[in-house]
Structure 1
Amino acid sequence: MKADIRLMVTADGSHTAVNQVFDKPYHSIHGAYQESQRVYIELGLLPAFDIFPDTDLHIFEMGFGTGLNALLTAREAQIRQRRVFYSAVDAYPMAIDDARQLNYDAFFGTDYLPKLHESPWNEPVAVDTCLALTKYEGNLQDFHTTNRFHVIYFDAFAPTAQPELWEQDIFEKMARLLLPGGMLTTYCSRSYVQRNMRSAGLIVEKHSGPLHKRDVIRAVKMG
């Protein structure tokens, strides 16, 4: 089922999309780029490059959305010449015609967006020499894989829109998907979400957030 969306420009000049059904934006209206960069790249991808220096990275994203997190990951992997295998699940993917209107390639001087959004679902695709992408269309609850991941970008819509994705059983599933030392990062720092993560066996860290967001979360799976 394709998402019913409208695009908007956020405060840092980068696009986000607003899901018309949930009436929620995919990214912070205060800056889509600066939020994704802080939560998923600075707190997830970059530390993983250092913690796991001698292996290809495996990343899982809950909520492919606009593709911004994947684009930033591809850009950073190319800069560092590190191989990344990127998997994402999305129950409401954007229509290709909507995705073509996003300004990310112009914003960053890249050419990733067509490859990210026009690649087929449920099969691996080489986006470039450093990023292999596999997108799965469906619910997180129904997603199954034997793969394990160094980083999970947990980018579901807010608990007010998708409360079922912030419960303990979901984080237990995420913990099973993580390798020892692996990290889950998310923008949501609500107290009950932190409790659910801890109950799932994850070590919860609070970190300073992007503009207009005091705290964000990194949860670590110990060995």
Structure 2
Amino acid sequence: MTKIEIKLSKDGSHTLYVPALNEHYHSVNGAVNEAMHVFIQAGLKHVQTNQVNILEFGFGTGLNAFLSAVNSGEMEVHYCTLEKYPLDMETIKQLNYGALFDGQFKALFKKIHQVPWGRENALDSRFFLTKQQCDFTKYKPENKYHIIYFDAFAPDIQPKLWSSAVFQKAYNALLPGGVLTTYCAKGIVRRTMQDVGFKVERMPGPPGKREMLRAIKI
């Protein structure tokens, strides 16, 4: 089993560090701040609809799903997330995301990890979560999505997940006008997105990062 270490990022929220890859799951400048900036503000808050379908490439710690549920308001959300290597529950139990929120949200993070994989689960009357254990490159989307959260490990670590084939799959999964958001701002990633048909915006990045990318299906 790959060794994983729990680290405290600068905003007081946890991230995970994989020594074998020399890679963190989130920004060391703030895991929650990064997720809020890249996926909630640039993705969830950007889409104006009463019902939203979200596809996530990289479930990881479940932070993006958790923050989407916390910030979904009156929207009905159908959230499908993909992860080839789910974390073990002992690691999950040590993460502090749930403790950062009060009331109904405090137990929500735990519930996200307790519901079964491979089928849709109602977290409440408006948020529906499907967790799929699979390889991004082999996944065949069954629905059309308004938003894709692209949160794979960095291109230098997992280059095949940032390939033209994967971005073509993402493009095909989106509805017209749908958006893909990612923390990555590398030129080669932007050009690959453009090559498959996306209109790509450079946007200000989260704390500690100058830029991020948002791609729109036109």
Report the TM-score when normalising by structure 1.
0.93
Q: Percent identity?
A: 40
State whether residues 3 and 93 of structure 1, in contact with CA within 8 Å, keep that contact through their aligned partners in structure 2: no
Distance 1:128 1:209, change over 3 A: same
Report the counterpart of residue 136 of structure 2 in structure 1: 140
Match of 1:188 in 2: 184
Tell me, what secondary structure is at the counterpart of 1:175?
helix
Work out the CA distance in 2 between the residues paired with 1:106 and 1:134. Answer: 23
Other structure's SS at 1:151 match: strand
Matched, 1:123 2:119: yes
Q: Which amino acid aligns with 1:99?
A: I
Distance 1:14 1:164 in 2: 29
In structure 2, the CA distance between the partners of 1:19 and 1:130, relative to structure 1 (3 Å rule), is farther
1:158 aligns with 2:154: yes
Q: Please say if residues 151 and 184 of structure 1, whose CA atoms lie closer than 8 Å, have aligned partners that are also in contact.
A: yes
Match of 1:67 in 2: 62
Decide whether aligned partners of structure 1 residues 138 and 191 sit closer, same or farther in structure 2, where only a CA change above 3 A counts.
same
**Offset of residue 3 of structure 1:** 6.0
Distance 1:181 1:154, change over 3 A: same
Aligned to 1:98: 91
The one of 147, 150, 168 aligned to 1:172? 168
Cα distance in 2 for partners of 1:195, 1:131 equals 34
Deviations 1:160-215 (A, max 9, x none): 11010111111111000000010000000100000000001000001001111000
Residue 187 of structure 1 contacts residue 216 of structure 1 at CA under 8 Å; is this kept in 2? yes
Deviation at 1:146, TM superposition (A): 1.8
- The aligned residue for residue 78 of structure 2 is 85
* C-alpha spacing 1:208/1:177, structure 2 compared with 1 (3 Å): same
| SS of equivalent to 1:194 | helix
Under a length normalisation based on structure 2, what TM-score does the superposition of the two structures give?
Answer: 0.95
* Distance in 1 (alpha carbons) for counterparts of 2:151 and 2:210: 17
Give how far 1:56 is off: 1.2
Partner of 2:23: 24
Q: Are the equivalent residues in 1 in contact too, given 2:98–2:110 (CA < 8 A)?
A: no
Cα distance in 2 for partners of 1:21, 1:117 equals: 25
Deviations 1:56-85 (A, max 9, x none): 1000000000111001100011xx211100
For 1:142, the aligned partner's letter is: K
The 1:176–1:205 alpha-carbon spacing in structure 2 relative to 1, beyond 3 Å, is: same
Q: Which moved more, 1:58-67 or 1:137-146?
A: 137-146
Residue segments in structure 2 that go unaligned for 5+ positions in a row: none
Query: Unaligned regions of 5+ residues in structure 1, if any?
Result: none
CA RMSD in angstroms, aligned pairs only? 1.2
Distance (whole Å) between structure 1 residues aligned to residue 155 and residue 145 of structure 2: 24
Measured after TM superposition, the shift of residue 20 of structure 1 is 4.1
Structure 1 equivalent of residue 203 of structure 2: 207
Q: Number of residue pairs matched?
A: 215
